[in-house]
Amino acid sequence: VTGASFVVFNGALKTSSGFLAKSSIVEDGLMVQITRETMESLRQALRDKKDFKITCGAMDAGDVKEYVDICWVENEEKTNKG
């Protein structure tokens, strides 16, 4: 689990890169590089207020994956206060 002050979603990752998505820590935030198709799905999920999961890592990495979960919550008191 990583806490971040901000999140940047970059929809310019090419499918030919061999990655499903990439996540990296930038200063005190998180940058997630995703494909254009994933960006479109993320935008729709945000409009619909639906949870969304982004699987990061190489396409051929097997079981070793990282995930970026975007979750809508009812009670904001249980979320990160920073």
Q: Would you say residue 82 has pLDDT above 60? A: no
What is the residue range of 19's domain? Answer: 6-70
C-alpha distances in Å from residue 62, one per residue of 12, 32, 73 = 24, 20, 31
- C-alpha closest to that of 42 among 29, 30, 53: 53
C-alpha distances in Å from residue 4, one per residue of 18, 36, 61 = 26, 23, 26
Instruction: Report the CATH number at residue 27.
Output: 3.30.1360.220
- C-alpha closest to that of 19 among 6, 32, 30: 32
- What confidence score (pLDDT) does residue 47 get? 96
Q: Would you say residue 75 has pLDDT above 90? A: no
Is 42 a domain residue? yes
- Give pLDDT tens digits for 25-66: 888 899 999 999 999 999 999 999 999 999 998 888 777 678
Is 11 a domain residue? yes
Is 18 a domain residue? yes
Any idea of the CA torsion for 38, 47, 5, 76, to the nearest 10 degrees? -130
Is 15 a domain residue? yes
Is 80 a domain residue? no
Is 51 a domain residue? yes
Structural domains of the chain, count:
1
